[in-house]
Amino acid sequence: MYNRLFFYPLLIPLLLLIFSFSAISQNLPVKDLVVHEWAIFGTLHGSDGSQLSCLYAEDETVPKFVYRHKLSDAIYNLFNQQEEQNLVELKNVTLNIESSVTSFYSKTAKEVSVDVGFSYGLVNKWYPQCNSVDELPTEIDNINFSIPFNGLISWNNVQILTPDSKIKFSSSNEQETETWINSRTTGANKIMVNNEIENFLFYSAIGNLTIPFQFNFSNNKELKIINSGEIDIPYLFVFENTENGPNVWWTGGLKQNETVNISSTKSSYAFVDAKLKEFQKALMKLGLYENEVIAMFKTLESSYFTKRGFRIFYILNPKEVALAIPINIIPEPLEIKRVFIGKCDIFTPEIEQQLLLDYKTDYLLNKYRNNRYYLGMLQRANNLKSNY
């Protein structure tokens, strides 16, 4: 017969230790859960680097099954000049997160909650259906995005399915776009959220945010880029696509307080291909899987690389991503990598000269009305006219 008086004092500390370990383990990173997010966001600029607003229209049309709130309908109607009651005017929209894809990798089924904030704007589209998302008040006539909104979207019950799950996607095949389908080719686990099956969480957003560097053209052939910020820029890809073919002006990282002067040169197709592979390696260096980079580049190729125009692509420093667009996943994954690509669409001096000529004969620039950046063109033409 054991001595109970001796046993009980030993049992109580042991139980407390077990309960304490259980509570602590709930806050420990999940050992086989990896989460990767990649996103593309755009800004619009004059040749002097000035950042323009009016970024209402999307470059890539999202499928019809993607959810959106009333703000998105207002944006669509405003851009297409449709008369609509209760239409709000959006001011100082200088940034458009065109797509964000968050993928989950796990050997076993799990359930997590995901909160994504946006310190400089609001989420306006998402899929699958979320549990909550901030909306703009409908009782005001105009909204100024230069005032921080601190938007938030939450998915409370993201069920990560097993890697061998054969369950079919919920969305209609007829409504899926090529870009949407490409985003599923990463090898990530399927997820179920509110009875909807997909391969990732998707959201887009609009807001007001200044890019982390400055630039200006001295003429059509010379460009200066300055990183006057406090954080290094991991990689930039300066690219132009003209009627004569693509040109890569310059690539590389830009350290704090570093300046680079660039001159236009004619690029061979082999040189462009080599620089695109360099771009891909820079993304993988930050932690993305090769399949994710391939999926992202399919989006970049169809939407941006093959279209005429001058653009500076850059990888946002992960520290700035965490500050501007914080994410919280519970339980915490063992690894989370977030890679955001910025895309600066730029009106070159040559384009601006043409805008001014057209503006003199038609101050509404009606010939550009179907252009995604029509409202930005109007704004830039007005700015240029006032400087003369």
pLDDT value of residue 3: 45
| 94 falls within a domain | yes
| 9 falls within a domain | no
pLDDT value of residue 211: 94
222 φψ region: left (φ > 0), alpha (ψ -120 to 50), beta (else): beta
| 326 falls within a domain | yes
The Cα 267–Cα 369 span in angstroms is 32
CA dist 29 to 26, 118, 311, Å? 8, 24, 39
- pLDDT, averaged in runs of 10, over the chain (388 residues): 41 42 49 94 95 72 86 52 52 90 97 94 92 73 76 96 96 91 95 97 93 93 92 96 92 96 92 96 96 90 84 95 95 96 95 94 91 89 82
The Cα 367–Cα 300 span in angstroms is 27
pLDDT value of residue 26: 47
pLDDT value of residue 66: 94
| 111 falls within a domain | yes
CA dist 360 to 357, 386, 388, Å? 5, 13, 12
Tokens of 225: 């880029």
Residue 37 backbone phi and psi in degrees, to 5 = -125, 130
pLDDT value of residue 114: 98
pLDDT value of residue 181: 93
Cβ of 354: how many Cβ atoms within 10 Å? 13
pLDDT value of residue 369: 86
Domain count, the chain: 1
| 369 falls within a domain | no
| 381 falls within a domain | no
Cβ of 88: how many Cβ atoms within 10 Å? 21
pTM for the model stands at 0.87
pLDDT value of residue 388: 60
| 373 falls within a domain | no
Strand partners, 159: 111, 192
Residue 51 backbone phi and psi in degrees, to 5 = -90, 125
| 276 falls within a domain | yes
CA dist 181 to 169, 172, 189, 298, 343, Å? 11, 12, 15, 10, 22
Residue 213: which domain range?
Answer: 31-346
Under 8 Å between Cβ of 16 and 24: no
Element (H, E) at 253: strand 245-254
